[in-house]
Structure 1
């Protein structure tokens, strides 16, 4: 952040001034003062690592969330507008069975899409992963399920594909600003509070920790738990949302 950068620059300035003062004092004594050698050891990456490398884990989660949300929402909306959902609701099938059926079928596609995004990012873009690639896939898969449930829920409020598209700039895109690309400690307290109700924030924290710090399962367990809580809440809301079309 800017505060840390200022502190670091201030410390380096004090160190430089101290060295100059020491040289001035020791010069009359004929003592030789050598400039200290600074060795840098990188916790992640190397001297060529840039800002893009830092945000890649967050963007990985964002694209998984975005595509799964869009595909699941559009698919269910098309089934509703075409009358397929109404015919399904005319059968004795329970609302919960309908929701779980959609999540199971589209969940398979979410898995494939998650694998495609993660493997492309890691191998094609040559992203260094300090931790386990399995945990990266796990977090993205749980996030994809959350996006799936979220997309189904939003489709119940949309009457057309155009309205569904309007949810993207209103709900999806703003999440990227609270996912860690912009440091939260630079935001106002009230704005920071918004991030705690957004799933992408927790996924971004977990992915950044795995990729850049090598966090293990225990370290990312709180984020996984919160994402699963999002999934449960959204699934319950989806079941209740079908009451608009049929009461069983």
Structure 2
């Protein structure tokens, strides 16, 4: 991989994002709107905060998965990817550039989401809000990486969207949002241990409950980083040049 080429690819992707205000709105505004809707569902009551804290890891992962999987499919179906790969650009450079560009978008998304949740929706955590932001960014990075991986197995943008229930649905059910993981059957708990969203939710719960959650958060963030890197490596190995 050549850093200069990867950075140039990231710059091109950021320019494309800048020229697409609807996608920018989807990345930045939609998670905050969904969390605000959840606030009114619970009428701002005591039940809102625990769920909202978990959603700060779930929503970035979900939205970034959708955006990146569709964006990469568009590169393939329009023939852009095939043309790019006739240049010195390697697949690893391409995916690193995409990862860097959308990771920056994920940082903005997470900052806006965390700011709104804390300063407007009253979400309170015992740990520093910076830990929440760190987890949200890494959760979004996993969404970017798995979105790129999913796009390698889809032929159309519609198929890329169809992968979302397969990649994201089980994680939402098993991450501990709907029911405590310790109350799940052993098989489901073992499966949840293999899913990245579990670690995002566990880290955020630690931030909510502990004044100094550094040990738990850094461990879970490390696992999220490993998932992201692993997904990017698999995407680089499996990414076809074009979609027929």
Distance 1:118 1:203 in 2: 14
- What residue is the counterpart of 1:65 in the other structure? 61
Gaps of 5+ in 1: 1-47
8 Å contact from structure 1 (residues 58, 179) kept in 2: no
2:171 equivalent to 1:171: no
Distance 2:216 2:45 in 1: 24
Distance 1:52 1:73 in 2: 31
Helix, strand or coil at the partner of 2:168: helix
Deviates more, 1:112-121 or 1:201-210: 112-121
2:237 equivalent to 1:240: yes
Structure 1, residues 30-52: CA drift from partner, whole Å, max 9, x if none?
Answer: xxxxxxxxxxxxxxxxxx96332
Structure 1, residues 183-237: CA drift from partner, whole Å, max 9, x if none?
Answer: 1122110111110111110000000110233343223221011111111211111
Helix, strand or coil at the partner of 1:92: coil
- What residue is the counterpart of 1:198 in the other structure? 195
- Paired residues, number: 198
What do you get for the CA RMSD once the two structures are aligned?
Answer: 1.6
- What residue is the counterpart of 1:15 in the other structure? none
Q: So what's the TM-score if we normalise by structure 2?
A: 0.77
Larger Rg: 1
Q: So what's the TM-score if we normalise by structure 1?
A: 0.76
Helix, strand or coil at the partner of 2:127: coil
Distance 1:216 1:190 in 2: 28
- What residue is the counterpart of 1:75 in the other structure? 71
Structure 1, residues 65-99: CA drift from partner, whole Å, max 9, x if none?
Answer: 11111111111111111111110011122221111
